[in-house]
């Protein structure tokens, strides 16, 4: 079935939304009939899906690298051949500009798929490891193997990236996958498209798709998986952890929390303002690694906030932000109402923005400037939980006292990300050494997610485990230890009955030599081998 025939998608390819075609004056929801219904979850049979996938895995087919690459290429075609349909769906769900979608999701996904296609052969090879003395002669290595049937739970705020990136890793590592699309009235348009695209492009022997909110997720987690990968908030993380405990199922949890940003007096304030205006309000502020609050040196506080206001005007249109095609909307009414309640409680601290529109679920970029009022800052609604929206609280810490922001950050739950703007090497080193976070970025925002050569994940309350690139392959693999031996040397002292003389031999054979001693032993061993060869050559002439 051609993509243009998918229900709910434009029949005329010319009507697809491309980067240059977004029209913000068109209501995302011109009538209730435009919004596709939630999938009929009553017809889902996760038990049957898991059983079918387990039967497929038992055939050993996904251990074949050709099968893995064919699945990755199918996913690659799904994305490449349907960008217009995906653009339109995400625009309707999140008011996300196609260029923003490309830069923050689609481009990263395409790179991830290509990396797996290019490198999965190398990543899948056994890795030779040293063999200790008592196992000589022998050969030791670790061999990556797929876990089995895994569950990938996606979320709505970056619905392409956070669903399909872990799917790439799961398939590339050779697993069969149950994919859960988010429910509860979030990405209805995209869900409608993805369900049909998965049906068209992905082999059901290896990938099954389900959809649902909290109750459906709890039900599907009653099944036994070999790993559960979930992206969401702490509430979801606890649901997953509780379900995983039943079978001691390993988990990778990408959660969130309140990620801080410290701006000290040595920072390039103009650069910081530009990057924070983007990082804090891209995707309507609905980003798990966005800066959730700013700690600014009081010496430069007012100057920085003025620059930040100017950047928000420049990037999102100032008073005309509602007409901007580059500014998102809150995902649904429940989230909108929560943010408005938060804003209303802290409204006296609004220094910029604060406008709302219930019909569009619009909240303008909003700065909550508490200045040096620490008690008001820490007791505010905006600091009581992860904001996950376009509100940004700001506090001015005592001039030159980096202890204050460091102590504040370390006194709270470990965040998913931490940002620091500074040109002072000692200050940067202090923040890096004295704080803990899933990731840390100096003098920029969010861009750590674009580097597949480093892992992305949380720590403590912000999550466990990591992925992206090779780290994703590792997350969805078991590294099995294999040691090959023969009967040439069989140390008799290890067998019963045990005697003092055996203890002496074993003590020598199993002595904990230091690294330096091992190097010397290897050097002497190599020299001894050369000497023996030289003797053999000499007396064989």
The two tokens of residue 365 are: 């970029």
- Name the H helices within 124-149: none
**HEC sequence for 382-399:** HHCCCCCCCEEEEEEECC
Q: Which residues contact 203 (CB under 8 A, 6 or more apart)?
A: 71, 74
Question: How are strands ordered across the β-sheet holding 207-212?
Answer: 207-212, 176-182, 149-153, 227-231, 251-254, 463-464
CB 75 within 8 A of CB 167: yes
CB 227 within 8 A of CB 151: yes
CB 436 within 8 A of CB 459: yes
Q: Within 13 Å and on the Cβ side, how many CA atoms surround 390? A: 26
The two tokens of residue 525 are: 């061993």
The two tokens of residue 366 are: 């909003």
CA proximity to 463, closest of 437, 441, 442, 435: 437
CA proximity to 263, closest of 447, 428, 378, 434: 428
Q: Establish whether 288 is a catalytic residue.
A: yes
How far, in Å, are 138, 155, 508, 524 from residue 514 at the CA level? Answer: 21, 49, 14, 15
The Cα–Cα gap between 364 and 322 comes to: 7
The Cα–Cα gap between 430 and 262 comes to: 12
How far, in Å, are 118, 210, 242, 318, 333 from residue 177 at the CA level? Answer: 21, 11, 21, 45, 31
Find the catalytic residue in 83, 100, 223, 254. Answer: 254
Q: Establish whether 145 is a catalytic residue.
A: no
The two tokens of residue 192 are: 């409608």
The string of DSSP letters for 325-391 reads TT----SSHHHHHHHHHHHHHTGGGEEE---EETTTTEE--EEEE-TT-HHHHHTSGGGSS---SSE
Other Cβ atoms less than 10 A from the Cβ of 224: the count is: 15
The Cα–Cα gap between 190 and 405 comes to: 40
Find the catalytic residue in 151, 288, 386, 474. Answer: 288
CB 483 within 8 A of CB 138: yes
On the question of a cis peptide bond just before residue 90, with omega within 30 degrees of 0, the verdict is no
The Cα–Cα gap between 156 and 331 comes to: 8
Q: Within 13 Å and on the Cβ side, how many CA atoms surround 372? A: 9
The string of DSSP letters for 193-228 reads HHHHHHHHHS-TTTEEEEEE-HHHHHHHTTS--SEE
Q: Which residues are catalytic?
A: 254, 288
């Amino acid at each position: 079935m051609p993509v243009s025939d998918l229900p709910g998608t434009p029949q005329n390819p010319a009507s697809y939304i491309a980067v240059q075609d977004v029209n913000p004056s068109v209501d995302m929801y011109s009538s209730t009939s435009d919004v596709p219904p939630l999938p009929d979850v009553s017809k889902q049979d996760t038990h049957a899906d898991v059983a079918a996938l387990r039967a497929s895995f038992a055939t050993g087919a996904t251990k074949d690298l050709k099968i893995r690459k064919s699945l990755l290429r199918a996913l690659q075609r799904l994305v490449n051949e349907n960008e217009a349909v995906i653009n339109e769906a995400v625009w309707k769900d999140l008011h996300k500009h196609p260029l923003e979608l490309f830069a923050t999701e689609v481009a990263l996904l395409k790179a991830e798929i290509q990396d797996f296609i290019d490198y999965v052969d190398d990543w899948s090879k056994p890795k030779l490891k040293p063999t200790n003395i008592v196992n000589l002669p022998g050969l030791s290595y670790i061999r990556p193997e797929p876990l089995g049937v895994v569950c990938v739970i996606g979320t709505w705020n970056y619905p392409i990236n956070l669903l399909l990136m872990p799917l790439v890793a799961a398939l590339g590592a050779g697993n069969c996958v149950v994919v859960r699309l988010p429910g509860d009235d979030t990405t209805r348009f995209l869900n409608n498209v993805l369900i049909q695209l998965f049906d068209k492009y992905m082999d059901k022997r290896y990938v099954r798709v389900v959809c649902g909110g909290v109750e459906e997720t709890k039900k599907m987690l009653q099944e036994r998986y070999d790993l559960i990968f979930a992206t969401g908030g702490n509430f979801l993380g606890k649901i997953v952890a509780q379900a995983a405990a039943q079978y001691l199922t390993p988990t990778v949890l990408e959660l969130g929390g309140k990620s801080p940003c410290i701006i000290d007096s040595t920072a390039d304030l103009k650069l910081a303002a530009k990057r924070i205006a983007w990082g804090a309000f891209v995707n309507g502020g609905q980003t798990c690694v966005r800066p959730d609050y700013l700690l600014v040196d009081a010496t430069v506080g007012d100057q920085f906030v003025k620059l930040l206001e100017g950047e928000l005007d420049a990037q999102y249109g100032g008073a005309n932000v509602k007409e901007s095609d580059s500014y998102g909307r809150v995902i649904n009414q429940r989230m909108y109402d929560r943010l408005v309640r938060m804003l209303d409680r802290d409204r006296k601290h609004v220094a910029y923005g604060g406008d709302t529109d219930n019909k569009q679920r619009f909240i303008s970029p909003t700065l909550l400037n508490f200045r040096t009022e620490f008690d008001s800052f820490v007791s505010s609604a905006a600091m009581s939980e992860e904001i996950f929206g376009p509100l940004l609280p700001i506090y001015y810490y005592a001039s030159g006292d980096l202890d204050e922001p460091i102590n504040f950050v370390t006194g709270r739950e470990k965040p998913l990300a931490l940002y620091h703007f500074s040109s002072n090497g000692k200050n940067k080193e202090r923040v890096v050494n004295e704080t803990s976070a899933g990731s840390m970025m100096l003098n920029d925002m969010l861009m750590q997610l674009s580097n597949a050569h480093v892992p992305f994940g949380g720590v403590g309350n912000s999550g466990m485990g990591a992925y992206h690139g090779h780290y994703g392959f590792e997350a969805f693999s078991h590294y099995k230890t294999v040691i090959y031996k023969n009967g040439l040397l069989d140390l008799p002292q290890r067998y019963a009955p045990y005697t003092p003389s055996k203890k002496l031999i074993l003590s020598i054979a199993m002595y904990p030599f230091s690294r330096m001693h091992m190097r010397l032993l290897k050097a002497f061993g190599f020299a001894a081998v050369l000497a023996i060869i030289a003797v053999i050559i000499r007396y064989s002439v």
